[in-house]
Amino acid sequence: MRWRRSWRADPEARVIADRHYNRQSVGSPQFVPPGRCLVLLATTGTALWITSWPLAAYVRHAWGGAWVCSAFRNEGAGLSSELIVEAVAATRATFGDPPDLGMITFVAADKVRHKRDPGRCYLRAGFVAAGRTAGGLVALRLLPAAMPAACAPLPAVGPLFARRIA
């Protein structure tokens, strides 16, 4: 496992989030959408993954209720498709059984390096094309049957998470 738990306002993870193309408020201390989330930072400090699990009633896309990869940025932590598989395994270990709709991610083809298939690393990790959003984003989905087994991420580190022994 190359991922360790982080949190929605981790200053180290925020630096990577600030370089992701979907970042709306660069420099803001919090970089995760509202609601349930899992924030993972690679043990090398060079990759970030965010799984959001919004309530279906508050979702404006066709996959309400699915887990959402709201951000993934790899700046040298290893092969992206392998990191994605491990992040999905960590998500299962954290949230339990996946929702029937599985996990969805959205790719802005015009904001990533040009490739034959936008989101190629997700496709190599087992995601399949699921259509487009009303805004034109490419939707890629991983169904529960194609997900890896659960594997817990490494624990969070830092003074916020240190255990006090009394």
Per-residue pLDDT tens over the stretch 92-109: 999 999 999 999 999 987
What integer is the mean pLDDT of 123-135? 94
Residue 65 included in any domain: yes
pLDDT, residue 27, reads 73
Residue 164 included in any domain: no
Q: Is the pLDDT of residue 134 over 50?
A: yes
Residue 112 included in any domain: yes
Q: What is the pLDDT of residues 142-157, one digit of tens each?
A: 999 999 999 999 998 7
User: How far is CA 164 from its chain centroid?
Assistant: 30
pLDDT, residue 161, reads 53
3-state secondary structure at position 95: helix
Q: How many domains does the chain have?
A: 1
Residue 7 included in any domain: yes
What integer is the mean pLDDT of 130-147? 94
Mean confidence (pLDDT) of the chain: 88
* CB-based contact 36:53 (threshold 8 Å): yes
Residue 59 included in any domain: yes
What integer is the mean pLDDT of 3-13? 93
Q: What is the pLDDT of residues 43-87, one digit of tens each?
A: 999 999 999 998 777 777 778 889 999 999 999 999 999 999 999
pLDDT, residue 157, reads 77
Residue 146 included in any domain: yes
pLDDT, residue 43, reads 95
Query: In terms of residue numbers, what domain contains 67?
Result: 3-158
pLDDT, residue 164, reads 42
Residue 41 included in any domain: yes
pLDDT, residue 23, reads 66
Q: How many CB atoms lie within 10 A of CB 111?
A: 11
The domain that holds 76 is classified in CATH as: 3.40.630.30
pLDDT, residue 166, reads 41
pLDDT, residue 163, reads 46
* CB-based contact 7:39 (threshold 8 Å): yes
Q: Where residue 28 falls among pLDDT bands split at 50, 70, 90?
A: confident
Residue 85 included in any domain: yes
Predicted model pTM: 0.88
Burial 7-22 (b: 16+ CB within 10 A, else e): bbebeebbebbeebee
